[in-house]
Amino acid sequence: MGENTNELLEVLKSINNSLQEIKQQDTIKMLSAKDVSKILGINVNSATELLKRDDIPSIKIGSLKIEESALKNWLQEKREKN
């Protein structure tokens, strides 16, 4: 392969990586109680009780779920209050 081909491959890899990042940003990641338990280091029952609280923005889609970004925001708010 020539130098121009290698440069073109590097540009294409960079474009592909950028597109993957954009795709991930557009995806809403929903977390289950099991996911929340792993993130917070608590058991699944405690995570389920947490998702039932009125002050946490969870929704029921089959089972209780929360958007990953909403969980991060909620945790940040709690940290700022303490």
Helix axes 33-40, 44-52, angle to 10 degrees: 110
Domain hosting residue 14, numbered range: 3-81
CB 25 within 8 A of CB 12: no
What predicted TM-score, i.e. pTM, was given to this entire model? Answer: 0.66
Number of domains in the chain: 1
Give the type of residue at 60: K
Classify 72 as helix, strand or coil.
Answer: helix
What integer pLDDT is reported at residue 5 of this predicted model?
84
Kindly report, residue by residue over 10-27, the tens digit of the pLDDT.
888 888 877 777 776 667
